[in-house]
Structure 1
Amino acid sequence: MYTSILEGVMLLWFALTIPFLIFVILDIRSTPENPILKLGFVLVTAYAGVIGAFLYVVGCREPLPGLHERYVSARWRQVLGSTIHCVAGDGIGILVGAVIGSVIHFSPFVDVAIEYSMGFLFGWAIFQSLFMRDMAGGSYKRSLASTFIPELLSMNLLMTAMIPISTISLANIPGGHNPLGVVFWFIFSMALLGGLGMAYPMNWWLVSNHLKHGMMTVRPKTHDSESMINKHTDMHHMKEVYPSRGIISIMASISILALAAGIIIAWFFGGL
């Protein structure tokens, strides 16, 4: 009976994901947001279904024409944009790593190592540094250097939740290791959703200390608006206040300790 209920929940989850994903794909085209964050919300809706669509509507969708700049200026929405960017990019690498691990049948620990490595490399080298290199003056090398620490801190908190959720679920739910089945994708949907929640506080600190961007407003040059790109997320303004190396080291240590705690939980309850 437990299995039947769980299967029903999974089928309902993905049945609802499809129409909400279509809604976000179609609706976000008219939202004056940065193209990379648009892609981010589409990906997160694919990962998190109804919840991803809800986050798009309350966090990014322009409520009325001309209000996007003011709407997304709220700190919590800025942080949401930063977290969505992290989860969207890292999530692609993590899922590819999870599929590879399931097909080749590595040990759970090796699976996690592959997922972390691929998630970090894709999120850092592609989604952060390559796609957002204009914020570093167009230099990919400079972008790599400036985004490494923020990506590391955010990724560590994302995986703090993802590792125990996915490991424990895979160890206890039949069919979880088959990437062709719905169980596998449901498990990683839940893991990514948990990771989003865990990474949000760290992204709050990163955005508050001008180490990561949040939401942006991008309008056509002919559009009469108060700014082309939201001043709250302009990287030039992000240079005004910067935390000391000591503070950054403390936050990095906290992220590593959190990640270690997640690994210990996964080892104790999931046989990592």
Structure 2
Amino acid sequence: MHSDHVHRMPTTDRHAGHGRNAVPWAAAVQATLHCLTGCAIGEVLGMVIGTSLGLSTWATVALAVALAFVFGYALTMRGVLRAGLTFRRALRVALAADTVSIAVMELVDNAVLVGVPGAMEAGVGSAFFWLSLAAALAVAFVVTLPVNRWLMGRGLGHAVVHAHH
């Protein structure tokens, strides 16, 4: 399952990190995939609900973003709750670990999706809708990956979760 993956702490590499903790790209990919999982669940659910109900583009985007944050935080909390943290502490860890990553991912994927002419209007029965959504999430992953690596190298973002596993 998603939360059972192995976390690796950043390693110090003075050359790659210019004197700071350089995070291996594999660790950043893992953290970004974690973010993508929660974001994609919420994003897809929000887009399907909003599009199916005929909500406006912006109402659909707002719903998708809200659900992406809920599912993103929930996935992180699930793992740290298993590690024995109280609900309140787990929520604080999730907020610290995921807020920037989810925000970047959601900003990018929704900008791409809204920017594809006709994607939002295509409807959930259209391959064009699904391909556009998949492409938007892929672009968001690529943009968020270096952000997560940078955050983790400074002990922020997903690196906060490492202390609790």
Q: TM-score, normalised by structure 1?
A: 0.49
The 1:140–1:189 alpha-carbon spacing in structure 2 relative to 1, beyond 3 Å, is: same
Aligned mate of 1:200, from 128, 131, 145: 145
Please identify the structure whose Cα radius of gyration is greater: 1
Q: CA RMSD in A?
A: 2.7
Distance 1:152 1:138 in 2: 19
Structure 1 unaligned spans of 5+: 1-34, 40-59, 61-68, 215-232, 238-272
Aligned mate of 2:118, from 169, 172, 179: 172
User: 1:74-93, aligned counterparts within 5 Å?
Assistant: 75-93=24-42
What is the match of residue 14 of structure 2? none
Distance 2:2 2:63 in 1: 25
What is the match of residue 108 of structure 1? 57
Task: Answer whether contact 1:157 1:199 (CA < 8 A) is retained.
Answer: yes
String of CA shifts for 1:16-71, please: whole Å, max 9, x gaps: xxxxxxxxxxxxxxxxxxx42578xxxxxxxxxxxxxxxxxxxx9xxxxxxxx7xx
What is the match of residue 36 of structure 1? 2
Distance 2:26 2:50 in 1: 35
Q: Per the alignment, in what secondary structure is the counterpart of residue 131 of structure 1?
A: helix
Q: Per the alignment, in what secondary structure is the counterpart of residue 124 of structure 2?
A: coil
| Alpha-carbon distance, 1:172 to partner | 3.3
Structure with greater contact order relative to length (CA < 8 Å, sep ≥ 6): 2
Task: Answer whether contact 2:108 2:139 (CA < 8 A) is retained.
Answer: yes
Matched positions, count: 151
What is the match of residue 46 of structure 1? none
String of CA shifts for 1:139-196, please: whole Å, max 9, x gaps: 2221101221332111111022111211122x335x8532122111111100100111
Q: TM-score, normalised by structure 2?
A: 0.78
What is the match of residue 86 of structure 2? 139
Task: Answer whether contact 2:35 2:72 (CA < 8 A) is retained.
Answer: yes
| Alpha-carbon distance, 1:197 to partner | 1.1
Distance 2:158 2:103 in 1: 18
- Identity across aligned pairs (percent)? 22
